[in-house]
Structure 1
């Protein structure tokens, strides 16, 4: 089929031979054509849907794992991928980079795309460096020429994205050629251009040693690009083949960073943080999920819990999902009330959805606070004003939460629901009094020892008073926060009712407010594990059977925790693409 496709393009293939090369995302061939009776050698890459699907999985995994991902869209067709590579190769050629001439691009009958380039006789950088006849002088000249090609790419803002030894070809005259622009990017950021230098530094150092690799790069490129590349000298930033090669050279990356630092007499650069979340945190989350969603159902006897979930009434579960969605609208109103500058409602809703993803990665709500701070700054607020708005949001939220807890406590006190089920008469009031006084004592002691915290509290109180003096902002702020809690309480009630429980509104409010308070103090992201356990404990103490309580809490957390987190990931990426974060 490739022969027929090349013939249809007028290339007259005489011989088509598959080649075993280190080519990511394509299948390479050597092709000999007869053009006016003269043989001509071509290098042809075939990109099919198998390669395209593998590329989609690869890029999706990178988006999930890494913070700064600047990949092109993974949803290009094979033809678009071939055209993209041809375009990058032509741009590089125009910039003066030594790269094979693009001959043609086409599509075979089976849908596979192909890209034909001029074939350059020669060997890869790794093969040439291992040859015994390569002298030190020729090696230095060749390396300086190679870095000049990289400098031309950098000047044209073209990132190769796979600049390793396998994609540097030395012709018979010993001149380096840059090949395979399949992962390339035009108009690239400095971060991407620095990543190319880091990749090539490691590849060259593996062949000729650290001193020669860094010194030749420094002479041609200067200190700036090398300093930018130094933080990316770490396994996660390198191609899989390069990572595999450095496993046998322990300490190589540290040596390269030290050699770069020596040229400027500075300290070696620290590796950049690339992962969205550390593996240790993922392990902690996985262990908490196991304890919560595997061991917790045993409290309600697994069979009964599963039966309660199987018999769940889906109309009530739909209500829980709707109430969960309402919380993002009400939270947006609260943010709009805290901000001294008007904010767009729809955009703010998307930001609050993005915070649900960010909060799943960090405890104490730090991820969501960072997203809101960045959003307010992008909306035009100075950083100090944005932080003050967040202090208003958090401070008023805590105050309102405490008042709601006191109100629900009085409500329950009249019904004597929890006291009758859990404690002897009179003990509930005493326990509550001791808990409140203990919390106040700790707060006062901490604030007296940390005057800076006391100053922050005073600033937050001053900002809150300024909001209260504006009826519209106060209504948005307090109404949004009150509405968020009411919607979450309703979602919990719908989920428990769906699974056969029938708790009273007072019990639901007390259980939710107490559980969310404990979850906020938990070291796990979004109180994972702590919230579930406290909600189940509160419901069972309040008289709800264990099986409906466990099943209802699991359904509630699915609607209010896991589904919003998945949607929040896409909201987060959307905001990043629109440069709103």
Structure 2
């Protein structure tokens, strides 16, 4: 039995308000921390300006590879063969759109439109995105489990006041209680459809290899970008340690619905690197460099590609 149309719209609006509210709080918190630690941020920017150009070039190359890995994973989430060049362009455009809307809505909208233009129904297109997201989260957790034994004691939870824990738990419980009851029937149907898609894809070994290979490569290449930047600014951490810290920070930041992880990922990376014993200026330079290569430099070209794809009716 489906929910009445009059109920679905208020639920969607409540969900959007919660999502926007949490994202706004995270962004304001990040701005507050940046303002409070502005000398370290400024020093980090200066340090990045004189960083090793060779390592930064390696980081930029790895950043380019993330879009190819994303395209491979997206192809793996669909049984039908997709047009390769347009698929790669769509992933580049989606990464730019992802930094304008919260919680992956920009990338999701671009990819759904692309898949629909390729002939997939709307439901199947949304299911393909869910399959890709599930594979990406699983791949990140698998890499975490693989690297954690090589860096014992590196991942330490910071001390959080009990009051803050209680407040966060209360907000989470209230939000879940408000959304769970009306959304559960639709979530159950969506989960059933996603599981059916996963079974169909794994019946095709080539698609399964593309899905998991692309997902693993995407997470590993993002970790490599941060590793290259830390080498460029002479951060006193081993590459495996940096990769593990990135995977942990990105997994935590994925729970917060900010545009492209802006604010949430920056804060999580800064916290993880600082907890590992790195100075504030070095941490600031590493986070700024990572964001420069993965967000700010590709942003305008990505938006231009997005405009071209829309103009040519590829989206």
Query: In structure 2, which of residues 19, 31, 35 is the aligned counterpart of residue 295 of structure 1?
Result: 35
Higher relative contact order (CA 8 A, sep 6+): 2
Residue 119 (structure 2) pairs with residue 380 (structure 1): yes
1: distance between equivalents of 2:194 and 2:78? 13
Q: Greater share of strand residues, 1 or 2?
A: 1
CA offsets, 1:508-567, max 9 Å, x none? Answer: 223222322333332321121111111011011112222111111101101101122211
- Give the Å deviation of 1:308: 1.8
Cα distance 1:482–1:309, how it changes in 2: closer, same or farther (>3 A)? same
The structural deviation recorded for 1:462 is 2.1
Residues 1:548 and 2:288 aligned together: no
User: What is the match of residue 166 of structure 2?
Assistant: none
1:363 and 2:99 are equivalent in the alignment: no
1:529-548 aligned within 5 A: 529-548=263-282
CA distance in 2, matches of 1:545, 1:508: 14
> Alpha-carbon deviation of 1:288?
5.2
SS of corresponding position for 1:381: coil
Find the counterpart in structure 1 of residue 57 from structure 2: 318
2:82 matched residue in structure 1: 343
Over the aligned positions, Cα root-mean-square deviation in angstroms equals: 3.2
How far is the alpha carbon of 1:380 from its aligned partner?
Answer: 1.3
CA contact (8 A) 1:396 1:464 kept: no
Distance 1:395 1:570 in 2: 29
Structure 2 stretches of 5 or more lacking a match? 1-19, 160-168
Aligned to 1:361, the other structure's residue is in SS state coil
Aligned residues: 279
Alpha-carbon distance in structure 2 between the residues aligned to 1:447 and 1:401: 30
Which residue is equivalent to 2:47?
Answer: 308
1:416 to 153, 167, 183: 153
Larger CA deviation: 314-323 vs 401-410: 401-410
TM-score, normalised on structure 1? 0.44
Measured at CA, do residues 533 and 411 of structure 1 come closer, stay the same or move farther in structure 2, by a change above 3 Å?
Answer: same
- Name the structure where helix makes up a greater proportion of residues: 2
CA distance in 2, matches of 1:570, 1:289: 31
Distance between the aligned counterparts of 1:331 and 1:372, measured in 2?
11
Which protein shows a greater Rg? 1
Contact 1:351–1:371 under 8 Å retained in 2? yes
Q: Trace 1:520-531 onto structure 2 (pairs within 5 A).
A: 520-531=254-265
Q: Unaligned 5+ residue runs, structure 1? A: 1-279, 424-434
8 Å CA contact 2:74–2:132 kept in 1: the answer is yes
Match of residue 518 from structure 1: 252
TM-score, normalised on structure 2? 0.78
CA distance in 2, matches of 1:580, 1:453: 30
